[in-house]
Amino acid sequence: MYQETVAGSDLTEIEEFLGRLGLDTRHSRRLLYWVYRRGIKSFEEINDIPLKSLRVLSENAVTGLSSPVTSEVSSDGSEKYLFTTPGGLIHETVWLPDGKRRTVCVSVQSGCRMGCRFCATGKNGWRGDLTAGEIINQVVSLPHEVTHIVMMGMGEPGDNIDQVIRACRILTAEWGLAAGRSRVTVSTVGVTPSVLRLLGETECNITLSLHSPFPDERRSVIPAEARWPFTETLSLLKQYDNRIRRRFTVAYVMIEGKNDSQRHLDELKKLLGGTGIRVNLLPYHPFDEDDARSSDMPVMMRFKHELVTSGIGASVRKSRGADIAAACGMLSAKSRSGVKRENSLN
């Protein structure tokens, strides 16, 4: 028997669903509260909706939430979780504590088909898109407090834009998780039509993964550049009427001898000067047989210093979770399909 999945639904859809079941639609907000704020796995956990209604719900719906199947803790306190969907799509999520900030880095796909050379996720292929409910599940089913959500895990948000936009709405809606729009960030390689939709249909922050300010160099590392030039995304961000003060950022993974020369720095300053777009400088994390190395810290700090003194906001992101393959570009979930149930967190 088909059962409706609550996680991933909005208020209007739940009201319509309860109406079809002959239930009081005034219970809709409470139902979503229990799913999105309390992360319940069973309707039996609800204590403020009549038992008769809960029995009808249990016969016709599931919450759509599930606990991670296993986890790994880094020496720096960050933690990586492995989730799987009812359809068997495995995906990884990272929780990053940093002072009062508690960030969760969620996946939007199992695998990725962008083929970026410096990212481990796409090396094992693309297995499928995650639904909005499966994206939200990675936030509400963690055993930790979360203050910020970044869609920077496995997959390209622009390649699963319908579900990503739906997830953004649930994350920020008052009937959803009610996370402030400034606390939700979507990272993309710059799928132009999807960036347009993010700008028009959400109020979340946007990060563009750049790698190089020179199109030919970027194309050799980020194949999507051939179809969606990064200049198109930058143009959209520059032209956006940013009265609500969304944060637009360029993520720049620094690789020794590849994109860390003065020539690259000068071009970054030319591209971003006066735009209000920030630069986040990230260390590179090699994987497999990769012989590339991250730029050293003095070089990264020089980039930051020159960007800041030229009027461009810039920061150097600390490396987190590299010892458990949880750092940027390292998520892959390979060889995880046979996770033993005795490692389960359920």
Active site positions, annotated:
92, 328
CA-to-CA dists, residue 40 to 6, 22, 23, 67, 103, angstroms: 11, 23, 20, 10, 21
* N-terminal to C-terminal alpha carbon distance within the chain: 25
Task: Name residue, tokens 């508690």.
Answer: 102
- Whole-angstrom Cα distance, residue 175 to residue 37? 9
Provide the 10 A C-beta neighbour count for residue 231.
Answer: 14
Residue pair 39/138 in contact (Cβ under 8 Å)? The answer is no
Residues 6+ away with beta carbon under 8 Å from 331:
80, 92, 94, 107, 120, 121, 153, 154, 325
Helices (H), 240-314: 262-272, 297-309
- Whole-angstrom Cα distance, residue 222 to residue 197? 21
- Give the dihedral of Cα atoms 145, 200, 152, 144; nearest 10 deg: 10
| Beta bridge mates, 316 | 281
- β-strands 248-254, 205-209: how paired? parallel
- Whole-angstrom Cα distance, residue 269 to residue 283? 19
Residue pair 328/282 in contact (Cβ under 8 Å)? The answer is yes
How many helices and strands, by DSSP H and E, does the chain display?
Answer: 10, 14
